[in-house]
Structure 1
Amino acid sequence: MARFNKIYAGPVDQVKPQVQERICDTSVLPGTLVVESGAKFAPAGANSGEKLYVVQDNYLALKGVDDAWPAGDTIVAMELLDEQFFNVRVPSGVNVARGAKLTSNAAAKLSLATTGQNIALVSEEAFNNNTGSDQLVRARVARRNTAVA
């Protein structure tokens, strides 16, 4: 069970994040990263340098953050905008410190960025994910075009 019940985390004065809707040929979980692939969304690859979107919970079908969008469905994904916070998926075994630089992994989730990798988001909380499952961690957008030195 996820630690948060929504993917968009604020700020509260911006109640509606900017979203895009596209078909995704694969099943995706809320809180994972997707990229545009033609007229569709596709899960982000490892260390993606493309424009990233965070998959929103399927509120249209009254689904929670642990309910995957079905393959072939039109999904709602939020644009990563500055000063907004998102709850993003971090795999089990990843220990995140506040301020940790995060990048996309091969499963479209967030992992710690290492030297030379693109920084997608920065953690806004510390969380030691030893739960045995993916968990949602609060993060914000990193500065554009940055990489770990």
Structure 2
Amino acid sequence: MGKSIPLIMLKEHDKIKSLLEKFERELNENLKNSEKTFIEFKWGLEKHFFIEEKVIFTVLKSLNEEENEDMLNLLKEHKDMLFLIKNIEEHFFKNIKPEIDNLKKTLLTHADFENEFFYPKLEMDLSEKQKCLIIEQCKAILDDY
């Protein structure tokens, strides 16, 4: 089968974190120049959320109560991060430097939980058929699989 779901998602988390760090550096240097990296970061994050919400969470039909609660919390965090992204966009529109500390903290906490607990547990709980389905759909969405 090749790659595992945790490895695929860890790689995605690393790419998103790297883009966020690049955006943060550029934001501190030049507001206008940082906008391009912000757009790239936003696209990567939205694509990641799409994979989780439309591919992975859709496959998880028979969740136990704990997994269901975890998934609902992750979905809430996605919504919260998208709200923070919208706020950053509004700041760019007004040519005001946005504050990104809250987004950064939320994103890092979210990714750590997924990397350390959520995806390793899924890897153990999913059937081979479910894993293959998720991995094949990830391949279709990701640029560098």
Q: Which has the higher contact order (CA 8 A, sep 6+)?
A: 2
TM-score by length of 1: 0.21
Higher strand share: 1
TM-score by length of 2: 0.21
Bigger-Rg structure (1/2):
2
